[in-house]
């Protein structure tokens, strides 16, 4: 199927990034969220990020304006029904995602492909709650979407070949690289990344090092662009905890047990950059370690 029009559920960090790259690649995008403020904020972020690309000579001013013109916003989820491909980019909670797909189903065109940007939840299980498991798959972008080059494509047990090929063609049109993953908890990237972050939090929890020494050690000792605790704050500690719980529950291996300190931070509402406090305090001009 030749995908031309794309629906994006969610105008937040991931959703507006997906809308950005899709529109820039020439797709028409319908972006949905629960409030007009969220949609307006998402469009503003897209515009600002496109401006940065213009300033760096990555795209022209005309390309920026054309991309913005391709993005429309809507509060009505049924408006996404006549798109060729829907990418759900809502919060990382299965009940929320399932409710979105259930609300969409009565309005979908017969050919519409459903996908989820989930970073860990079973694609097979999400697909089974819809009327088209063969036209359902995981479409996992990395954050920040306009910069990161990888997209994980995850087939559910029922995903058919035409659906996979259509999604693969979309990734190619974006100029990104697709990595295919089987439908096991957290797929590839987060199956490897999150236990590393969780272990860094255990290292902090056990007093082996403080926030600064742990992040400095991985940046300079392993050549990582960001330290694991800084990266956890960037991703969101609630998201990190959710993925670790999916790994722990899905694989029943104690090596995936979330660190109690991670749980405590989430319980405190210290979720990282988005709440201004996590392993660093972002309320001042310079981030300050909280431990």
- Kindly state the tokens that stand for 196: 């590393």
Q: How far apart are the first and last CA of the chain?
A: 52
**Bridging pattern class, strands 85-88 and 71-74:** unpaired
Report how far Cα 151 is from the mean position of its chain's Cα atoms: 10
Catalytic residue chosen out of the listed positions 88, 92, 152, 230: 152
- Is 190 annotated in the active site? yes
Give the angle subtended at the CA of 95 by the CAs of 91 and 101, to the nearest 5°.
Answer: 85
- Is 140 annotated in the active site? yes
Catalytic residue chosen out of the listed positions 88, 92, 140, 230: 140
Residue 269: cis peptide before it, omega within 30 degrees of 0: no
| Phi, psi dihedrals of residue 63, rounded to the nearest 5° | -65, -40
In the chain, where does DSSP find H-type helix? Answer: 13-24, 36-55, 61-69, 94-104, 123-128, 161-174, 189-205, 211-221, 228-235, 237-251, 260-268
pLDDT of residue 46: 97
Catalytic residue chosen out of the listed positions 32, 49, 117, 119: 119
* Residues of the chain with confidence (pLDDT) below 50: none
pLDDT in tens, 31-63: 999 999 999 999 999 999 999 999 999 999 999
Catalytic residue chosen out of the listed positions 49, 122, 166, 190: 190
Q: What is the dihedral of CA 75, 76, 77, 79, to 10 degrees?
A: -120
Alpha carbon separation from 238 to 186, 196, 232, 272 (Å, rounded): 15, 16, 9, 9
**How far, in Å, CA of 270 to CA of 276, rounded?**
7
- Is 107 annotated in the active site? no
pLDDT of residue 92: 86
Alpha carbon separation from 117 to 13, 255, 257 (Å, rounded): 12, 25, 24
pLDDT of residue 183: 96
**How far, in Å, CA of 55 to CA of 265, rounded?**
38
What SS3 class is residue 106? helix
């Amino acid at each position: 199927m030749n995908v031309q029009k794309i629906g994006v559920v969610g105008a937040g960090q991931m959703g507006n990034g997906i809308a950005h790259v899709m529109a820039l690649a020439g797709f028409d995008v319908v972006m949905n969220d629960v409030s007009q403020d969220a949609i307006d904020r998402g469009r503003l972020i897209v515009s600002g990020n496109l401006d940065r690309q213009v300033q760096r000579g990555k795209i022209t001013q005309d390309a920026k304006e054309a991309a913005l013109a391709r993005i429309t916003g809507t509060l009505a989820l049924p408006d996404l029904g006549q798109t060729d491909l829907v990418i759900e980019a809502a919060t990382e909670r299965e009940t929320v995602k399932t409710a979105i797909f259930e609300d969409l189903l009565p309005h979908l065109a017969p050919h519409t492909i459903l996908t989820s940007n989930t970073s860990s939840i079973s694609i097979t299980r999400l697909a089974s709650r819809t009327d088209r498991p063969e036209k359902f798959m995981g479409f996992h972008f990395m954050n920040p979407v306009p910069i990161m080059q990888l997209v994980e494509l995850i087939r559910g047990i029922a995903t058919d070949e035409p659906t996979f090929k259509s999604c693969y063609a979309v990734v190619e049109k974006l100029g990104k690289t697709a990595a295919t993953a089987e439908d096991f908890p957290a797929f590839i990237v987060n199956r490897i990344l999150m236990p590393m972050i969780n272990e860094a939090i255990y290292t902090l929890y056990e007093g082996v090092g403080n926030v600064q020494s742990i992040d400095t050690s991985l940046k300079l000792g392993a050549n990582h662009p960001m330290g694991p605790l800084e990266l956890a704050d960037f991703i969101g500690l609630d998201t990190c905890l959710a993925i670790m719980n999916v790994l722990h529950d899905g694989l029943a291996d104690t090596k995936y047990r979330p660190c109690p300190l991670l749980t405590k931070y989430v319980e405190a509402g210290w979720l990282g950059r988005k709440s201004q406090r996590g392993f660093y305090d972002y309320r001042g001009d310079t981030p300050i370690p909280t431990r």
